[in-house]
Amino acid sequence: MFWLIIFGTFLLILSVASPFFGIITYIGILYLRPQEVYLFLAPYHIPRVFAIAIIFGFLLRYAKEKKVFFNYKQDKILFALLIVIMLSFTVGWIPKCLEVWEQMAKNIIIYGLIVGMVNSEKRLKVLIWMLLIMSAILGFNTIQEYKALDPRALSYMRLGGFSGGYFAGAGDFAIMMNIVIPFAFFLGIFGNPLILRPLALWFVYIFIFAIIATNQRGGVIAFGGVILGLAYFGSKSKGFFKKSLSIALLIASIAGIIAFSPAAFKQRASTILDYQNQDTAVNRIEFWKLGIKMFLSSPLLGVGAGNYPLRYWDFGGWEQAWRVPHNMYIEALSELGILGFSCLFFLLYFTFKDGFSTIRILKQNNKTGSFLYSVNQAAIVSLFTYCVGGMFQSLFTYPMLYILIAILVSIRAVAGQALVRESC
């Protein structure tokens, strides 16, 4: 206990002195959640303490250099989203609205810190590898749990990550594994240094196996989004060898899943097209219908941020547990109305637009072999995969959405700075 406190204090001091180190540490806390793994740490409010330290260090070091916020369209949309959530206090139960507002404020702070500090290719590499390593730790542990299961339990067990929080639920965990596959895939084919490519491809194997371990159909559908995105960019790779290698690895991944995944997983995945006879799939459709009813009852602001579970029975609900929309678009529409949904729509629209604009700029400047070009493609596929997964999970307030958006905004800024330096 004593040495743990000393180590934590040391990390805290470093987070103030080097806010970029702090945000990397914070992402580690976000993934591994030591306060939930080791319950004796819970009273110390570790995430909040580190967040305050990072913000303090960031303001000391960076606030004088440039305007901290409102530099990008995404900044303005996120600020507007916070205002919409505050307006929803007038139609919803305020404590629940306040809980969502606090979570979204944290997400926006994380977004702002990443955009403000990931201002070089080196820092971008550190951030991406940190996400991959943390995801691999969670994925590897889930695989070990899966291997230890009794064979009779494989048909009904739904495994998530050991750290709880956003990674505890099997469906959420499957999405989180899917969104890091594109980064590992592109770094495994195009990344530098070459010595790290095998490690990145090994991470791909871990993430895919972890998705299988969750036994979630939503994870399979999201993986379909990964395959579509990677196939699209792989087919556009410059050079016959890289193009062929990309397509070959994708085919090998699909073939490997079909050939080596357990029979229980194959059987569950096969029910995707037979959703009418699956209780969970039918229930999801009913959850969506209730969300639409909530939206129609209050089209402008919905029923209030976070209030879907509270108003569930008022609109004909029957379920005693899991009273969530299971769809991030209906989550936004039902709880925040057309105003909140518009914020989500334009946030995604401008981020995808910027991502493809960055591709065009890098192509025009013959930078298709650069790290920025590859990681930008990966980030687009990851965000697309998150959007696909959002059709089946309530992911609207999860930090990873805003981290992915921040990564794409940072890539565009770093790419622009690099081209300006070269032209001088």
The answer on 75 and 39 residing in a single domain is no
Check if the beta carbon of residue 14 is closer than 8 Å to that of residue 22. Answer: yes
The answer on 99 and 26 residing in a single domain is no
Give the pLDDT score at 331: 97
Of 202, 161, 210, the C-alpha closest to 185 is 202
pLDDT tens string, the chain, 424 residues long: the values are 666 778 888 888 899 889 999 999 999 999 998 888 777 777 878 888 898 899 888 888 766 666 666 789 999 999 999 999 999 999 999 999 999 999 999 999 999 999 989 989 999 999 999 999 999 999 999 999 988 887 777 666 778 888 878 888 899 999 999 999 999 999 998 888 788 999 999 999 999 999 998 988 888 889 989 988 988 887 776 666 666 767 777 777 777 666 657 766 666 666 665 555 455 667 888 899 999 999 999 999 999 999 999 999 999 887 766 688 999 999 999 999 999 999 999 999 999 999 999 999 998 888 888 899 999 999 999 999 999 999 999 999 999 999 999 999 999 999 988 776 766 6
In a domain, 290, yes or no: no
The answer on 46 and 99 residing in a single domain is no
C-alpha span between 294 and 309 (Å, rounded): 11
Check if the beta carbon of residue 155 is closer than 8 Å to that of residue 167. Answer: no
In a domain, 305, yes or no: no
Give this prediction's pTM.
Answer: 0.93
Give the pLDDT score at 419: 72
In a domain, 310, yes or no: no
C-alpha span between 353 and 158 (Å, rounded): 36
Out of 43, 65, 87, pick the residue that ends a domain. Answer: 65
Of 202, 65, 66, the C-alpha closest to 133 is 202
Out of 65, 80, 109, pick the residue that ends a domain. Answer: 65
In a domain, 152, yes or no: yes
The answer on 120 and 18 residing in a single domain is no
Q: What is the DSSP letter of 193?
A: S
C-alpha span between 217 and 211 (Å, rounded): 10
Residues 6+ apart with CB under 8 A from 16: 22, 53, 54, 56, 57, 60
E strand residue ranges, 17-77: none
The answer on 54 and 197 residing in a single domain is no
- Which residue range is the domain that position 54 belongs to? 1-65
In a domain, 205, yes or no: yes
Half-sphere exposure of 22 (CA within 13 A, CB side): 30
The answer on 196 and 117 residing in a single domain is yes
Check if the beta carbon of residue 45 is closer than 8 Å to that of residue 93. Answer: no
Of 289, 288, 290, the C-alpha closest to 393 is 288
What the block records as the tokens of 197 is 């490519």
The answer on 7 and 151 residing in a single domain is no
The answer on 403 and 256 residing in a single domain is yes
In a domain, 297, yes or no: no
Give the pLDDT score at 28: 92
The answer on 242 and 183 residing in a single domain is yes
Count the domains in the chain. Answer: 2
The answer on 337 and 396 residing in a single domain is yes
Residue 65 sits at φ, ψ, to 5 deg, of -80, -40
Out of 65, 95, 119, pick the residue that ends a domain. Answer: 65
In a domain, 293, yes or no: no
In a domain, 312, yes or no: no
The answer on 126 and 110 residing in a single domain is yes
What the block records as the tokens of 305 is 């941020």
The answer on 23 and 95 residing in a single domain is no
